[in-house]
């Protein structure tokens, strides 16, 4: 096969994969919506029958925008810069809807130096557990 034909086949395959991922995301979203509706129905039934609210503990409230502490904002900015560095390093591999993992790209999609830098930045971001952290 010629290189242009290979490129064409790869582009077509990538498009087909993205189409499958888009359809899968739609199905997953629908299942999640159905599950949420079912859970809400069950909670309403229990409350109506017993007067007991089984909704669980409310989530902690987020601070209002004007109440965000600047020190916290600085930490968040530093952590986000690490994540953005990974996005830059992995470039074309980072797409909405992609189910490919950083590990898979590190093993077969980028050179060793790029993979190591991406992993380092993700670890430094504080958003993700490293190897052996129980994740």
Query: Do 65 and 45 share a structural domain?
Result: no
Q: How far is CA 52 from the centre of its chain?
A: 35
pLDDT by residue for the chain (135 residues), tens only, comes to 578 888 888 889 989 988 888 889 899 989 999 999 999 999 899 889 998 888 875 556 777 889 999 999 999 999 999 999 999 999 999 999 999 999 999 999 999 999 999 999 999 999 988 664 544
Query: Do 129 and 74 share a structural domain?
Result: yes
At residue 86, the pLDDT reads: 96
Query: Do 69 and 55 share a structural domain?
Result: no
Domain that holds residue 36: 1-59
At residue 59, the pLDDT reads: 58
Query: Do 130 and 102 share a structural domain?
Result: yes
Final residue belonging to a domain, choices 32, 59, 86: 59
Separation in Å, CA 75 to CA 5, 37, 59, 71: 48, 37, 22, 6
Domain count, the chain: 2
Q: Does pTM surpass 0.75?
A: no
Query: Do 37 and 18 share a structural domain?
Result: yes
């Amino acid at each position: 096969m010629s290189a242009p034909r290979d490129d064409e086949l790869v582009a077509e395959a990538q498009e087909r994969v993205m189409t499958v991922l888009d359809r899968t995301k739609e199905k997953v979203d629908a299942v999640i919506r159905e599950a949420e509706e079912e859970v809400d129905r069950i909670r309403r039934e229990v409350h109506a029958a017993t007067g007991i609210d089984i909704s669980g503990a409310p989530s902690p409230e987020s601070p209002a925008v004007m109440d965000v502490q600047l020190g916290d904002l600085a930490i968040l900015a530093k952590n986000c810069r690490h994540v953005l560095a990974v996005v830059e390093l992995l470039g074309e591999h980072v797409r909405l809807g992609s189910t490919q993992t950083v590990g898979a790209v590190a093993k077969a999609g980028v050179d060793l130096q790029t993979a190591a830098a991406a992993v380092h930045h993700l670890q430094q971001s504080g958003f993700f557990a490293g190897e052996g952290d129980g994740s």
